[in-house]
Amino acid sequence: MPNIKLENITKSYKDEVIVHNFNLTIPSGKFFALLGPSGSGKTTLLRLIAGFEKPDKGDIYLGDKRITDEPINERRVNTVFQHYALFPHLNVFDNVAYGLTVKKIPKDAIEKKVMKMLKVVGLEKHRNKSISQLSGGQQQRVALARAIVNEPQVLLLDEPLAALDLKLRERMVIELIDLQDQLGTTFVYVTHDQFEALTVADYMAIMNTDGEIEQVGTPKEIYEFPVSSFVAEFVGTTNIMKGTIEKSGDTYVLKTEKLGSLEIVTPDKKWAVKGAHVLMSLRPEKIEISKKKLDGFSNVLKGTVEAIVYYGRSTQYSVRVKNGSLVHVFEQNDEHFPKETIDYDDTVYLHWQKNNVVLLKK
């Protein structure tokens, strides 16, 4: 399987520049997610890879092969869209068989390939049903089977689960991961849903509203070590604080405008500059909340509980700390430990370790 390379791609619609000098390498045979807010240019990029659009500038490679000017049907790329775009007048089998029929492949070979694909997506018993007799999830499976029956080297998926309800989406996510595993095809999965991206992807790229890549990495790298406040805030929930490095060494001291001096450590020595202005991200689940001051933490802040949101498996506390900042805290509702009850207006202490903080570029 070849990788996909986008090199210095610029694309505009009329006078609106969507992406400018865009570079991205999508690894071969992996499940790659492109995550970004609506309007950031994700669909545009997929359409460029598929060949529905041409870049104004730059090149697209599939492996060593330059495909920038290749017609759609000569690229070994297939697309699954959010709206299934199935043929309503054809049954399940004929929808999946369509591309092969057009290529005039012998009938018995078509039968074999289509049934194999219907089996992969769990629809072999539904081969004769019309599309209108299928649920949304089944229709999306037909769309998947139709895209992969042609044995593309790359499968582009543009928010393919967005029209499905939550439970079905969760199930389909697992099925897609399995499918990619079985096929070894390069999957490029576009979504604005951070949870979906974190779940499906081997690697992911985060795009900002200007159509630029902010960070590429594994879901864990992106979540644990975001490089910018955009990434930290777009993927998950976080507390962003501004400060100045006051003391460096193994442990830095970050002097913040609102929270006083905090201790932090970071493996990245580029921050070891006294006086540097930095942002820091502190994930809500890294904070321990308690009505009593606990020992053994490098940072402790005192505050007042201003809001409590119960999420079932966790509870979010919003705590107003000195000088007015609001800090969010997640606490797991595990029953193994009897918890103290924390109420609105309670005075609480927030504790965290110095290595739970990530420093960000502005």
Ligand X SMILES: Nc1ncnc2c1ncn2[C@@H]1O[C@H](COP(=O)(O)OP(=O)(O)O)[C@@H](O)[C@H]1O
Does position 303 interact with ligand X (CB under 6 A)? The reply is no
57-62 and 65-66 beta bridge pairing: antiparallel
* Binder of residue 238, out of ligand X, Mg ion, none (CB less than 5 to 8 A by kind): none
Stretch that binds ligand X, among 37-45, 231-239, 315-323, 352-360 (CB under 6 A): 37-45
Amino acid at 95: N
8 A C-beta contact, residue 126 and residue 138: yes
Does position 38 interact with ligand X (CB under 6 A)? The reply is yes
Measured from the Cβ of residue 19, the count of other Cβ atoms closer than 10 Å reads 26
* Binder of residue 36, out of ligand X, Mg ion, none (CB less than 5 to 8 A by kind): ligand X
Does position 146 interact with ligand X (CB under 6 A)? The reply is no
Alpha-carbon torsion 173, 177, 182, 186, what sign?
positive
- The Cα 146–Cα 51 span in angstroms is 18
User: From the list 44, 82, 185, 238, which residue makes contact with ligand X (rule: CB under 6 A)?
Assistant: 44
Backbone Cα Rg of the chain: 25
352: left (phi > 0), else alpha (psi -120 to 50), else beta? beta
Instruction: Kindly identify the residues of this chain, within the stretch 4-33, that bind ligand X according to CB under 6 A.
Output: 13, 18
User: From the list 30, 42, 75, 141, which residue makes contact with ligand X (rule: CB under 6 A)?
Assistant: 42
By C-beta, is 214 or 331 nearer to ligand X? 214
Letters for 39-78 (x = contact with Mg ion by CB under 5 A, - = none) are ----x-----------------------------------
How many CA atoms does the CB half-sphere of 2 hold within 13 Å? Answer: 17
Question: Please, what is the minimum distance in Å from the beta carbon of residue 212 to ligand X?
Answer: 12
Stretch that binds ligand X, among 36-44, 97-105, 277-285, 289-297 (CB under 6 A): 36-44
Alpha-carbon torsion 348, 352, 356, 362, what sign?
positive
Would you tell me which residues interact with Mg ion (CB under 5 A)? Answer: 43
Would you tell me which residues interact with ligand X (CB under 6 A)? Answer: 13, 18, 36, 38-44
